[in-house]
Amino acid sequence: MIEIDGLTKRYGDKTAVDGLSFVVEPGVVTGFLGPNGAGKSTTMRMIAGLGRPTSGTVRVNGKHYPAAAAPMSELGILLDARSVHPGLSARSNLLALARTAGIGRRRVDEVIELAGLGAVAGTRAGGFSLGMGQRLGVAAALLGQPQTVVLDEPVNGLDPDGVRWIRLLLKSLAAEGRTVFVSSHLMSEMAQTATRLVVLGRGQLISEGSVEDFVDHATTAGVLVRTPDPARLGQVLAAPGVTVSNDGTDLLRVSGITAEQVGSAAWRAHLPVYELTPTHASLEEAFMHVTRDSVEYHAGATR
C-alpha cells in the first residue's frame, strides 16, 4: 500500500507536486495518469525516497521507505529514464542490485527468464534497445518480490508482445495481493489493465477512483439517433437535464437519457428511428476532458 499525504515538491519557485493526497491499495492495479509535466515521475521518485518532499509524507506498506530494513522486499521501482549501467551486462546489473539484499543468483536468473532476457543476459546493457532496457528495468523492480511495485511508463518502447507481457504481469502481481502502481500514456492500455485510477494535473490531484467511475463522471455517455425528422424528435425529447444536439444532418446526439427512453419516446410520437446507438466515452476521451485545463504543454501552443 502507498499512502501519500499532503505531498508537495518545489524546485525553486516551480511547484512540481502540490498538496497531493491519495492511497494506492493492494490487490488491484492502479493507473497513474496525467499530462506531461503533471508531476507523475516526481511523485514516483519521492515514493522511492530519491526525492525529498518539500512537505507532506509518503508511506510505503505503512512505513517510511528510506528507513525500511529490507527495502527490496518492500518496493520495486522502474523509473522512466534508463537507470542501468550500459557498461554492465544485464545479469551484472541485476546481480549488483540483488547483492544489496542478499538475493542469490537463482532469483536473478529467474527474473531474467521472466523478462525474456535469457538470450542477452550476458550482453552489455548499453547495446539494448529501448524495449530491452525496459524489460531489464522491470526485471530489476521484481527482483526482491516486493510488496509494492511502482512502474513509470513500463510499456514505453515495448513491442506488442512486450505490452501483453506487462499487462498480464501487472494483473498477476495484483492478484498475488501486491500493490501495483503504474503510469502510462497509453490510455487504451490503461483501460485494459488498471482497475483504479489516480489522475494528476499540474501537480494536483484531479481524480481518484475506479476506471468506470472516472469515465462515467468525466464525460456524459450519450445516445446517437438517426431519424428523418430530427427537429421534431428534438422537441419530443426536450426535458430538464437532457441535451440534444444536431449538426444539420439526420443524426441527433442525445445525452442525459438512455437509449431505451429515446426509443420509447420516438415510438410514442410515431417517429421512425433508423438507428439508435448508445455511445460510451473512452478512457482517452475522459482523460482529455478532465485534464483539458491542466495540460502543461499544448501541441502547437503559441507563446
Partner 1 sequence: MSAVTRPGLLPAQGAPAPAVPAPVAVAGPVTQVRVVRSEWTKLRALRSTWWCALTAIVLIVGLGAAITGSGAPYTISAGNSAAGGVTISLAGVLFAQLVLGVLGILLFSGEYATGMIRATLAVVPSRLPVLWAKLIVLAGLVLPVTLLAAVAEFFTATALESSRGGSAISLTDPGVLREVAGASLYLTVIAVIGLSLGALLRRTAAGLSVFAAVFLVVPLVAAYLPQSIKGFAPYLPSNAGGTIWGAGKLFGGHQLGPWTGFAVLCGYAVVLTGLAAWRLRRRDA
52 is an interface residue for partner 1 by CB under 8 A = yes
Binding test (CB under 8 A) with partner 1, winner from 72, 117, 155, 266: 72
71 is an interface residue for partner 1 by CB under 8 A = yes
138 is an interface residue for partner 1 by CB under 8 A = no
What are the Cα distances from residue 283, in Å, to 8, 27, 28, 188, 210? 27, 22, 18, 7, 11
What are the Cα distances from residue 300, in Å, to 30, 37, 185, 297, 303? 31, 16, 19, 9, 10
25 is an interface residue for partner 1 by CB under 8 A = yes
Binding test (CB under 8 A) with partner 1, winner from 113, 213, 260, 275: 213
CA-based end-to-end distance of the chain: 42
- To partner 1, the closest distance from the beta carbon of 226 in angstroms equals 33
27 is an interface residue for partner 1 by CB under 8 A = yes
Unique residue bearing C-alpha cell 525529498? 52
Which three cell numbers, joined as nine digits, stand for 291? 485534464
Residue 60 or 254 with smaller CB distance to partner 1: 60
Pairing of strands 29-33, 196-201: parallel
113 is an interface residue for partner 1 by CB under 8 A = no
268-271: Cβ within 8 A, 24+ apart = 268/236, 269/232, 269/233, 269/236, 271/227, 271/229, 271/232, 271/233, 271/236
12 is an interface residue for partner 1 by CB under 8 A = no
Residue 74 or 296 with smaller CB distance to partner 1: 74
Q: How many helices (H) and strands (E) does the chain have?
A: 11, 13
157 is an interface residue for partner 1 by CB under 8 A = no
Write each residue from 172 to 211 as x if it is in contact with partner 1 (CB under 8 A), else as -, in one continuous string: ---xxxx----------------xx--x-----xxxxxx-
119 is an interface residue for partner 1 by CB under 8 A = no
| Window contacting partner 1 (CB under 8 A); options: 95-103, 112-120, 159-167, 249-257 | 95-103
146 is an interface residue for partner 1 by CB under 8 A = yes
